[in-house]
């Protein structure tokens, strides 16, 4: 996978552009949605999975992975409210 994403200069540019674009989308979601509903929708999409994989494989930068709400904690809160 590393070769596929970063094996040539053009592939590296495409991968970097994808990371930057997705990061901007995450930043915008954080700025407009205090409940993190939009962010969580982004995080559990295939685009975020791909972005996280590109981040893991990046040859020069140690990125933090994008994370969101803990679904177990969220669902436990619903169970408590229904009790």
Q: How many CA atoms lie within 13 A of 77 on its CB side?
A: 6
Query: What is residue 1's predicted lDDT score, i.e. its pLDDT?
Result: 84
Say how far apart CA 38 and CA 69 lie, in whole Å: 11
Q: Output DSSP code: residue 62.
A: -
Burial class (CB in 10 A: 0-12, 13-18, 19+), 49: exposed
pLDDT tens column, 21-54: 999 999 999 899 888 889 889 988 999 999 999 9
13-14-18 Cα angle (round to 5) = 115
Query: What is residue 13's predicted lDDT score, i.e. its pLDDT?
Result: 96
Query: What is residue 37's predicted lDDT score, i.e. its pLDDT?
Result: 87
């Amino acid at each position: 996978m590393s070769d596929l994403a970063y094996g040539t200069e053009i592939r590296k540019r495409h991968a970097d552009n994808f990371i930057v674009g997705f990061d901007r989308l995450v930043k915008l979601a954080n700025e407009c949605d205090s409940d993190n509903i939009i962010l969580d929708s982004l995080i559990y999409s295939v685009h975020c999975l791909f972005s996280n994989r590109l981040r893991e494989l990046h040859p020069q930068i140690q990125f933090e992975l994008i994370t969101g709400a803990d679904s177990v904690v969220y669902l436990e809160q619903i169970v408590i409210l229904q009790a």
